Structure 1
Amino acid sequence: MVGTPDFLTGIGPDSAAEFQELESPEGDLHLRFFVQSGNEFALQAKGIREVISPSPDRITPIPNVSSLLLGTLNVRGRVIWVADLGQFLGDTTPLNTDRPELPVIAVEDQDTILGLAVDRIVGMDWLDTAQLIRRTNAPDSMEPFLDGQWVLSGESERVLRLLDQVKILRSARWAT
């Protein structure tokens, strides 16, 4: 059966299946996620090195560093800093680390990698950047790190904000 042409095409003599063209996605691939406050964000997939879900006890706290940093994490022999993205963006509520796994998005620019700890990852989605609204009504604390936002269809109050990982990595906030 495997060697028959019917197996390869998926259409047999008794099959009434029709070919359907796959729609090509519009826009770019993005990772969607939530921070502790319930705000939803996206990052372009091309700037993400990987997504991991380590146990919080694998993150080693480091004294005398920015309060935004949760600590360091060893990922296949490479030590990366892990930050609470919500607090970095101005949330007052720290990320809940009392759970079995903590979603961490490792972003990269040149040779710098930073782990952004988030509350929940939604998944990957094709988002049309032509629909991106450049002006946002975001708080001043997060505005410098945004490239814009989408108003989610059917939900006029809910927005999906696009973050720029390079601006986050190069921020002077890490020194405070």
Structure 2
Amino acid sequence: MVGNPDFILPGFSSDQAPEFQELESPEGELHLRFYVPSGNEFALPAMGIREVLSPAPDRMTPIPNVSPLLLGTLNMRGRVIWVADLGQFLGDQTPLNTDRPEIPIIAVEDQDTILGLAVDRIVGMHWLDVDQLHAQSSAPDGMVPFLRGEWLLGDEASQVLRLLDQVKILRSARWAA
């Protein structure tokens, strides 16, 4: 239909028809990039993400006598899910600031288990080449079991983007602590 010369977009005459460019196919796999409160940047594969939410803090229900890593529960279209402070789960000392209008939450899923990971800031979706992953060189020991690797950003190795494994996070024994 679009290639049909009789098909003209509104506002264009037949001699002004716009030229369409072929889009380049992206390299790598689609990932969601985000930051935790300490300033560390991470990525999760898009295939493991159920949804990204930004609820007000008062929509989360705190639950007493649970792991301090858990911020509470959230109703996600009729399903109650646990929400965790991802930064603290990974060993960061800086807790998530919940005194703000919205909290970015990444709902990750594996089989029938869903967990909300509260983060400081979401950067967006990016195509990343998993063949360029390096072994974790500078990650703290408590974080290493949940990493698939890291990308070195820029010329300096001091700036890294770490790829998380959402299945290992979901299945961690840390939630029982």
TM-score, scaled to structure 2:
0.91
SS in 2 for 1:7: coil
Change (3 A) 1:89 1:4: same
Give 1:41 deviation, angstroms.
Answer: 0.2
Change (3 A) 1:164 1:13: same
SS in 1 for 2:9: helix
2:136–2:144 CA contact under 8 A, matched in 1 = no
Q: Which runs of 5+ in 2 are unaligned?
A: none
SS in 2 for 1:6: coil
Aligned match of 1:24: 25
Change (3 A) 1:11 1:24: farther
Aligned match of 2:6: 4
Aligned match of 1:96: 97
Identity level (%): 74
Which consecutive segments of 4 or more residues in structure 1 shift more than 3 A? Answer: none
Aligned residue pair count:
173
The answer as to 2:130 corresponding to 1:129 is: yes
Between 1:20-29 and 1:121-130, the stretch displaced more is: 20-29
Between 1:155-164 and 1:86-95, the stretch displaced more is: 155-164
Aligned match of 1:68: 69
Q: Which one-letter code corresponds to 2:8 in the other structure?
A: D
Between 1:134-143 and 1:57-66, the stretch displaced more is: 134-143
What does residue range 74-85 of structure 1 map to in structure 2 within 5 Å? Answer: 74-85=75-86
Q: Which runs of 5+ in 1 are unaligned?
A: none
Q: Which one-letter code corresponds to 1:47 in the other structure?
A: G
Counterpart Cα distance in 1 of 2:16 and 2:118: 53
When the two chains are superposed, the root-mean-square deviation of aligned CA atoms in Å is: 2.0
Q: Which one-letter code corresponds to 1:132 in the other structure?
A: L
The answer as to 2:172 corresponding to 1:146 is: no
Counterpart Cα distance in 2 of 1:110 and 1:101: 28
Give 1:137 deviation, angstroms.
Answer: 1.5
Name which of 8, 13, 16 aligns with 2:15.
13
The answer as to 2:161 corresponding to 1:157 is: no
2:41–2:162 CA contact under 8 A, matched in 1 = yes
SS in 2 for 1:5: coil
Change (3 A) 1:167 1:11: farther
TM-score, scaled to structure 1:
0.92
